[in-house]
Structure 1
Amino acid sequence: MDRSYVKGDWQQGRAFSPAVVTTGAQKIIWLAGHGAPRADDGTPLKGDFEAQCRQCFLNLERTLERAGGTLRDIVTMTVFVTDVRYTTPMTEIRTEIFGDDFPASAAITVTGFADPLMLIEIQGIAVVE
């Protein structure tokens, strides 16, 4: 499978690509929304956005591994946050994870989630060779 990233000027600074193009034989993994109100040991992450964001990506990574993919296979994601001010810390964490080749993305501010401890939820699509 070939993958190319359409890069934008301002989009690069916000850690996403306007589009990702894939061609060739591939498997598509449709990721349900993943949140992270608690750490692996069950400790609540109430009010700690950075911890929830990192745990959220860890949870996505585990799901992808079970499905035969990795975080690097994500081509698009929708990030839901409860406060618009969380988009910058999320962008910084996403930059750590993806480097310079970012998935296409949207960030949406919501009033809340089914679990009131949650501050972030991410869903996406991954394409694997």
Structure 2
Amino acid sequence: MKTEETSTAHHSGRAPEPVGLYPHARRVGNLLFLSGVGPRQRGQQAVPGVELDEQGRILRYDFESQCHAVFQNVHYILEEAGARWEDLVDVTVFLTNMRDDFATYNRLYAEYFASSQPCRTTVEVNCLPTPIAIELKCIAAVAG
């Protein structure tokens, strides 16, 4: 099977621009693979709830606002690729501070996924490519 012939790249007009050369999502058969999604807003470099010093280091961040923003960005990408929130089957979560942020993430995740529970893996990473505290990598199963 040649991937070029059987897959379709999707670029969202509402989610933040990728920080590298990749699509927001790629559909292969009945699966939609989302690239890592963070909380930035389209057309902005600033991250919701993040205060940086003059050298670009994080002084403070509002983790809850980042969670809401990243979930909204996932919604945008899914909708524009013809999928729904309920179509998510797997979510990989990258947190930069598991100790301080996991309880908040777990609480918000339970709210957003109250009616559908995809598989989930949560890992802590040292840092992410932009000054964000959370990134999601998602897979959705979509109708043919």
Task: State whether TM-score is above 0.5.
Answer: yes
Q: Cα deviation per residue 1:12-36 (whole Å; 9 max; x = unaligned)?
A: xxxxxxxxxxxxxx72100110001
Q: Secondary structure at the match of 1:61?
A: helix
1:68, 1:76 → 2: CA distance? Answer: 17
Contact 2:47 2:132 in 1 (8 A): no
Which one has the largest radius of gyration? 2
Give unpaired runs (5+ residues) of structure 1. Answer: 1-25
Aligned length: 102
- Could you list the runs of 4 or more consecutive aligned residues of structure 1 that deviate by over 3 angstroms after TM superposition? 38-44
2:124, 2:103 → 1: CA distance? Answer: 13
Kindly indicate which of the two structures has a greater share of residues assigned to strand. 1
Q: Does 1:96 align with 2:111?
A: yes
Greater RCO (Cα-Cα under 8 Å, separation 6 or more): 1
Q: Secondary structure at the match of 2:117?
A: coil
2:92, 2:118 → 1: CA distance? Answer: 10
1:64, 1:39 → 2: CA distance? Answer: 16
Residue 73 of structure 1, aligned match among 76, 80, 87: 87
Residue 79 of structure 1: how far off its partner (Å):
0.1
2:115, 2:109 → 1: CA distance? Answer: 10
Give unpaired runs (5+ residues) of structure 2. Answer: 1-28, 51-60
Q: TM-score, normalised by structure 1?
A: 0.72
